Amino acid sequence: MESRDQNSRGRIEAVCVSERRGEVKRAVAAGILQPDHGLEGDGHAGPGHRQVSILATLSIARIKAVIPELEHGAFAENLVVSGLDLSGVQVGDRLAVGGTAVLEVTQIGKEC
């Protein structure tokens, strides 16, 4: 499968974690991404292909227009990013986020 790199770098607007899978994630001040592991302290980190979940600020804004009380983490996202167009992302694409992180898309989540 061919990998495509995004041309821009996404800005991380929020970092969210939960200790266990199935729990609502909560926003934290900062996070540490570990290669081939995911976000430290998150229940989805570790072996596997779904270590980090990303959601665009644009998607959240559309939903918050209808449900304004929603907080970051409500959709089980780890990273809320701006500056990336996620609408055409495909499995295998690489996304640059934050200062140095590059994440590979391994699965497309639900559409918001």
The predicted-structure confidence for 47-69, as pLDDT tens digits, reads as follows 888 899 999 999 889 989 999 99
Q: What is the pTM of this model?
A: 0.86
Q: Helix (H, G, I), strand (E, B), or coil: what is residue 97?
A: strand
Q: Which residue ranges form the domains of the chain, and what is each CATH number?
A: 5-104 (2.40.33.20)
Contacts of 69 (CB under 8 A, 6+ apart): none
Residue 1 pLDDT more than 50?
no
Using DSSP, state whether 88 is helix, strand or coil.
coil
Q: What percent of the chain has pLDDT over 70?
A: 91
